[in-house]
Amino acid sequence: MSVPGRSRIGALTDTHTVLVLPGYEDSDEPHWQTRWEALNPAFTRVQMPDWMHPDRDAWCRTLDAAVAACAPTRPVLFAAHSLGCLTVVFWAAQYASDAQRARVAGALLVALPDPDGGAFPADASGFEPVPMSRLPFASIVVGSTNDAYGGVAFSERCADAWGSRRVDVGARGHINGESGLADWEEGQSLLVSLAQARGA
């Protein structure tokens, strides 16, 4: 693991709680989420009840419990990928109390999957229609130009509706373990920028 990677996210948990939200089938060892957890073991992966059969209600309630369990003195950051992103958005729109929403400093939302797309997992339930209301916390939507699970137009539409900054990383597929990102330092910088935007 690289020293520059440590310098970007190494100190985040001195000030924030970082919740890692993988998508369908969880994130494997080469995935940037798993590598970030190795760089900073204080990052907390939200363990969903069933990675192979994602259910929106179960995933959102699990996320709500995870936020409630965080130390009240530290703002929360989400590092979400794929279905983890939709879980964050549904949670904010339909599950979280005002007090819970206020605890969140920001969300990094990477590789949004389109529930109306042909590649969306058939085993996932309850993730449509995607809420299109403004998120109550800062957010960055990161998209790829050749993501089979969600096109550029869908990513742009969501970012616009949610009030998110959008970042295009080029042809990086689903921005996962197969994308060759290693520790993904650009993503680390984006996560840190969300913390800094809150004044931390």
Strand partners, 45: 20
pLDDT of residue 124: 97
| pLDDT < 50 stretches in the chain | 1-6, 199-200
pTM over 0.85: yes
Domains, the chain, with CATH or none: 17-197 (3.40.50.1820)
Q: What is the pLDDT of residue 135?
A: 98
Return the structure tokens found at 183: 């520790």
- pLDDT of 42 reads 87
pLDDT value, residue 10:
82
Joined together, the tokens standing for residue 145 give 């130009």
Exposure string of 166-199, with b = 16+ CB inside 10 Å and e = fewer, is bbebeebbbbbbebebebbbebbebbbebbeeee
Q: What is the pLDDT of residue 113?
A: 98
Tell me what pLDDT residue 6 has: 46
- Predicted confidence at residue 81, as pLDDT, reads 98
pLDDT at 4: 42
